[in-house]
Structure 1
């Protein structure tokens, strides 16, 4: 029987619960009745699909319900492995156009293989049910972590943010735009690996959202980029905005904007200024705050233009955090313990009446009250071994004695000897350098003029990689991506790729050579995205 940690959402009391207990427990601190995570309602146990088979997948238990799908735990009978099954609601399953797009983009997402993306096993339909079979993640979402533990520490949030950015980079390279990045879609395995979920389950623009529960609409709108709220097409930069909004919430404990309605929330994302992360999460490093601020720019052109660019920025943030952490650790590290030396002799009188007697430290090794700790630096170079031993005993005396103490004193004397030899060597090298400078000055003076300048270094050979025109390559790659996604009828992705070709690479040779084809493809994409007029059948006229 496993025990799991938790925290009361009302009083914050830490508690533990067992796997085998019922659906509710009482907080021992405030006596609040709490529903256990992962427990389903009694009505959910009567789900008609539990115990049934969809294709080669046996449905074992209900995991959760949402506005877009119901998720079950299942087992793939052919491979004997656990998996998760996501089944479309009946309202969406009856829409042939939505089902076709759902299957097409899910298959495209299945082609993306990345350790930070949920692996899709199968897409299909059985007995009228449309489903996706995917990797089962044993863990929790970042939304669950936020509810239980509160805001994430900056170093932990940075590690998760890097993994999410790597997942988006792989997906965007394959022409897949997530469109619904949020903490509940960022899953964490038991080993701490982040997995991005729900690739391919994109919402259809203009679809009736009445089938989606109000809570889910608001939950998604908390992280919705301004362009999507305004009905504009989403691209890779839209995912980056949602990622920034999600990690703003995870770092501060509050979303960038809050409102009572979806319309007000969408308006705030489009027009309102977000409170700086450094204000709501003062412990966040400034470099990480700058990254989140750029991700939350209203204009997509002012954000990071790709997930790869974001990853480069996050690596620089990580380096700065490591350096600042090392500096903080060095400044706060405890002083080294004193070396063991023979016990100090009793106070001895000085032959000089103006020099006070040197008293040994207290037997406990502590300094007398009101006495400052001597600085942890090496003693000054002694004039002789005898003086070095006296200085050593003065600075490091204590109650310890024995063989180890004698070795420590010997090591100290040896260090003094090495230091003297090093200083002598540095003096000799400095003298030689000075003589060389003087000789050079004399030579220049007698040569009757300034020394001849050295010939310029040869120009470095330009490699083939440097001669390679990156702009031409990018233009051709984006155009090919646009053609591929247009052929798959993924019009929004195709428009995003081709828009970049027309706006960023219009001066390239590739664009000028293929301008007619590019414009023809652009017209085709815009026509596909244009809303189709609805035709109504005229009522029969009365004779």
Structure 2
């Protein structure tokens, strides 16, 4: 059972759980507004890296306001459990949204008829390439909150602010350290037979990918993502972890860019962490991100190109059995032509995707505004 109260927030129900925490629908008792509250595990199970990312996400987004960027409201520690409070977004990840057919989009009540995705992506996705758009709701909790349900709601142990989250992480662990070899541990080796079946299924799906109604939704969503990127880039931020599971679409078909736990200000060295560890999700990393070079907005645009390529072909531009092999392809190999995989794909969208995937940042679109204009042609 979840806790009844977390600071000023009344927990209503569980929205989803992941490797490091659980997301709840909650009510802010001060305003009576519904919110999404992500509660991390505590004690020996505390993921200190996730806790620091939680504080960073709050500090990154606290002063931002854009219709296509998720809003955050609060961060702190409740009885040893770090939490983040943000805008409640009930909808689907971008990939799941585009997988729906027209009849499935709306229920009689006007909301998505398909199961809703969790309001916050699982933090663990950012540290491996096996990126999935899971819509799991509820399920077994990764840590035991049963004791809280047996006690009367209490404010004891409640502390707000990003400093409290960092202090908890510092007390539980040394500052983040890591080894590039750690990335191999989370990389799933594809089965060749499974890959062959998937490719054959993909060939049969190209007609489904090109449904006019789906392509209209794809272009509209990409335009909204461009607006979100233009806004954050204009505020000196690089997202660094752009992928379909970090893009949500609500029942009004409004896109929200999510999960800014890896975001960096352009004034900082946005390539590596302080200890030299690479950050991001393997499949969506730009060449300069792989090389650990300082990043600018064009790294996010490369990731946008990977997303567009995937959504037009049903497969990633690069695929390999190991991270090293994947990175070698990203650095040295040109992706297969989209229109060679999807013969009836949209030529203009294909051109945009391929330009976004150029190896050299100078050869790509230079701003999200330029991408928007190209998509709108």
Alignment TM class, shorter chain as reference:
0.5 to 0.7
Query: Out of 184, 187, 194, which is 2:245 matched to?
Result: 184
Residues 286, 166 of structure 1: alpha-carbon distance in 2 compared, 3 angstrom cutoff? same
| 1:276 corresponding residue in structure 2 | 337
Larger relative contact order (Cα-Cα within 8 Å, sequence gap ≥ 6): 2
2:212 is the counterpart of 1:151: no
Matched position secondary structure for 1:269: helix
The Cα shift of 1:283 comes to 2.6
Map 1:331-350 onto structure 2 (within 5 A). none
Match of 2:80 among 99, 124, 128: 128
Please say if residues 229 and 266 of structure 1, whose CA atoms lie closer than 8 Å, have aligned partners that are also in contact.
yes
Verify the 8 A CA contact 1:144 1:184 in the aligned structure 2: no
Answer whether contact 1:51 1:60 (CA < 8 A) is retained.
no
Kindly state the Cα deviation for residue 121 of structure 1 after the two structures are TM-superposed.
1.6
SS at match of 1:222: helix
Is 1:58 matched up with 2:10? yes
Contact 1:226 1:270 in 2 (8 A): yes
Partner of 2:364: 303
Instruction: Flag the structure with larger Rg.
Output: 1
2:355 corresponds to? 294
Q: Any conservation in 2 of the 1:102–1:202 contact (CA below 8 Å)? A: no
Partner of 1:205 in structure 2? 273
Residue among 23, 26, 35 paired with 1:83: 35
2:13 match: secondary structure? strand
Would you say the 8 A contact 1:109–1:171 is kept in 2? Answer: no
Given the superposition, is the C-alpha separation of residues 252 and 201 from structure 1 closer, same or farther in structure 2, using an over 3 Å criterion? same
CA distance in 1: counterparts of 2:99 and 2:325, whole angstroms: 24
Unaligned runs of 5+ in 1: 1-45, 318-543
Structure 2 CA distance, aligned partners of 1:263 and 1:147? Answer: 31
Q: Deviations over 1:467-489 (max 9, x none)?
A: xxxxxxxxxxxxxxxxxxxxxxx
Counterparts in 2 of 1:182 and 1:92: CA distance versus 1, 3 Å: farther
Please say if 1:139 is aligned against 2:91. Answer: yes
Map 1:94-133 → 2, pairs under 5 A: 95=48, 99=51, 102-133=54-85
Taking structure 2 as the reference length, the TM-score comes to: 0.61
- The question of whether the paired residues in 1 share the 8 Å contact of 2:60 and 2:260 is answered with no
Cα distance, 1:126 vs structure 2: 2.1
Taking structure 1 as reference, are residues 257 and 251 closer, same or farther at Cα in structure 2, changes over 3 Å only?
A: same
Q: Is the 8 A contact 1:113 1:119 kept in 2?
A: yes
User: Is the counterpart of residue 228 in structure 1 residue 180 in structure 2?
Assistant: no
Partner Cα separation in structure 1 for residue 27 and residue 344 of structure 2: 44
Query: Could you tell me the TM-score, scaled by structure 1's length?
Result: 0.44
Please, which of 245, 253, 256 is the counterpart of residue 195 of structure 1? 256
Partner of 1:438: none
User: Contact between 2:301 and 2:368, CA under 8 Å: does it hold in 1?
Assistant: yes
Is the contact made by 2:53 and 2:262 (CA closer than 8 Å) also made in structure 1?
Answer: no
Pick from 158, 163, 173: which aligns with 2:224? 163
1:314 CA drift (Å): 2.0
Q: CA deviation at 1:136?
A: 1.2
Shift of 1:202: 4.1
Does the 8 Å CA contact 1:248/1:256 hold for their aligned counterparts?
yes
Q: Once the 2 structures are TM-superposed, how far is the Cα of residue 140 of structure 1 from its aligned partner? A: 0.7
Q: 1:180 aligns to what SS in structure 2?
A: coil
For 2:299 and 2:314, the matched residues in 1 are separated by 22
1:245 aligns with 2:303: no
Q: Which moved more, 1:125-134 or 1:293-302?
A: 125-134
1:208 and 1:78, CA in 2 relative to 1: closer, same or farther beyond 3 A?
Answer: farther
3-state secondary structure, aligned to 2:14: strand
Structure 1 residue aligned with 2:236, among 151, 163, 175? 175
Count of residues in correspondence between the two structures: 259
Equivalent residues of 1:102, 1:201 under 8 A apart: no
Cα offset, 1:301, TM superposition = 1.6
In 1, the alpha carbon distance for the partners of 2:366 and 2:41 equals: 35
Q: Do the aligned partners of 2:24 and 2:36 also contact (CA within 8 Å) in 1?
A: yes
Give the drift of 1:206: 6.8
Q: Is the 8 A contact 2:310 2:317 kept in 1?
A: yes
**CA pair 233-167 structure 1, distance change in 2 beyond 3 A:** same
SS in structure 2 at match of 1:130: strand
